[in-house]
Amino acid sequence: MFFPEKDILSADRRTAHGPAARKGENMNQTTGKSSIRLEKKVYILNSASIVGKKEGEGPLGNLFDMVGEDDLFGCGTWEEAESNLQKDAVYMALGKAGKTAEDIRYLFAGDLLGQSIATSFGLASYQIPLLGVYGACSTCGESLTLGAMAVSAGYADYVACVTSSHFASAEKEFRFPLEYGNQRPLSASWTVTGSGAFILGGEPESGPQGQPPRAAITGMTVGRIVDYGLKDSMNMGACMAPAAADTLVQHFLDFNLMPEAYDRIITGDLGSVGQTVLLELLRDKGYDIAGQHMDCGIEIFDAQSQDTHAGGSGCGCSAVTLSAYILKQLEEGHWKKVLFMPTGALLSKTSFNEGKSVPGIAHAVVLEAL
């Protein structure tokens, strides 16, 4: 690099009161340093979740819209199987929302595979303009953020947000092909085979059976890259927890809230190890979220009986848990307001092999019951 590190940041972003902070006060859609409070809320009209066999056998098993009989889903390769998960999730979400592909102005989609091939090969046939996103396992949060921004601003009547992951394609992409039969430490997580798709709209319109939208998106906090220098790709929970803590603290500051404002604060895939780190980091910052915290990776598997170690992970983990479980709790009135915050580990096989650390990122979306 040509420029010295110290020149890059002249002050801590969080406490700086530079031109952006001052100007931000004049813009009623932005709040604080990193967040947006949507002037016009956006509705999750409907959604769908498709998972693999193991996820179907887990605690949320009977809540998913579809459970595959085997994880190839009738395809020739793991990557093709993951593509079809995305295609089918979008298809089901469209049907449940009473929409067709022609109604959807933009797709916001991504996955974990190199060059997002699950998305490229899964969604081509819809012929919907595509804005590809990448935030590792935080991608569901990023796609909902960008999709809701587009709808709220009037750039689209309807958008679809979709993400996926697949245990076998992810192991091959990031670690070892399954055929190697390698051992996994207890801190490792189990990549969820699944895809979740969400149809967003600007009006609280009813679906084909007269059902109301599932929830409203009212705000978001975009995360930044946080790197504590951890290098263990078999302990991604610990790698991502600092990013989750960073986004959460920024969210509380930006919206001037305390954890009690939420019925649940839901991370994507920290798992049991990452959860411990997150709670500890937040206590150090003066926030206790032990009463509100939930992690999709912990919910989706019974770690003990399913041998999934630290919990579930992957873009699909938070996406299918949101569609099948979180939105259901909001619909049924058990929760009024939750913060949905998928967490991503920004590594690749190349960066890992070159000895780089595993930075994290987390994007938070405010979901409210209707």
Q: What angle do CA 92, 96, 97 make, to 5 degrees?
A: 115
Long-range contacts for 330-333 (Cβ within 8 Å, ≥24 apart)? Answer: 330/214, 330/215, 330/367, 330/368, 330/369, 331/214, 331/215, 331/369, 333/369
Residues 100-139: x where in contact with its own copies by CB under 8 A, - otherwise, as a string: xxxxxxx---x-xxxxxx--xx-xxxxxxxxxxxxxx---
| Cα(184)–Cα(55) distance, integer angstroms | 19
- Of the candidate residues 223, 242, 274, 316, the single one contacting its own copies (CB under 8 A): 223
71 binds its own copies (CB under 8 A): no
| Cα(68)–Cα(141) distance, integer angstroms | 25
Q: Which of residues 36-55 bind its own copies (CB under 8 A)?
A: 36
- Of the candidate residues 227, 232, 331, 368, the single one contacting its own copies (CB under 8 A): 227
- For the chain, the maximum distance between any two Cα atoms, rounded to a whole number of angstroms, is 60
157 binds its own copies (CB under 8 A): yes
Q: Smaller CB distance to its own copies: residue 52 or 335?
A: 52
- Judged by CB under 8 A, the stretch of 27-35, 255-263, 271-279, 312-320 that binds its own copies is 27-35
Contact 324, 55 (CB under 8 A): no
- Of the candidate residues 188, 215, 222, 327, the single one contacting its own copies (CB under 8 A): 222
Minimum CB separation of residue 355 from its own copies in Å reads: 9
Single-letter amino acid code for the residue at 27: M
135 strand-pairing partners: 137
Q: Which of residues 160-189 bind its own copies (CB under 8 A)?
A: 172-173
Minimum CB separation of residue 7 from its own copies in Å reads: 8
242 binds its own copies (CB under 8 A): no
- Of the candidate residues 145, 165, 189, 267, the single one contacting its own copies (CB under 8 A): 145
